[in-house]
Amino acid sequence: MEVAYTATVRVRDSKNPDGGMLRFPDDAWSPLIDAVTWDER
C-alpha cells in the first residue's frame, strides 16, 4: 500500500495577523523531519 499526500500549513500571528514573517527555529522542525521516511527508487 502506498499513501501520498500534500499539506499546506498557514500560520498566523493572532496578535498581529497583518504582521511580518514568522520564523521557526531548526529544532522545531527536526522531530517532523526525523519522522519522515524517503523511498528512494
Q: What is the pLDDT of residues 4-31, one digit of tens each?
A: 777 777 777 777 777 777 677 777 777 7
Is 1 inside any structural domain? Answer: no
Q: How confident is the model at residue 39 (pLDDT cuts 50, 70, 90)?
A: low
- Our count of domains for the chain comes to 1
- 19 within domain boundaries: yes
Residue at 3 is within a domain: no
The whole domain housing 14 covers 8-37
Residue 27 lies in a domain: yes
In a domain, residue 17? The reply is: yes
3-state SS assignment for residue 41: coil
Q: Label residue 41 by pLDDT band (50, 70, 90).
A: low
- Whether 25 is covered by a domain: the verdict is yes
- Exposure letters 8-41 (e unless 16+ CB within 10 A, then b): eeeeeeeeeeeeeeeeeeeeeeeeeeeeeeeeee
Contact 16, 22 (CB under 8 A): no
Name the pTM for this structure. Answer: 0.26
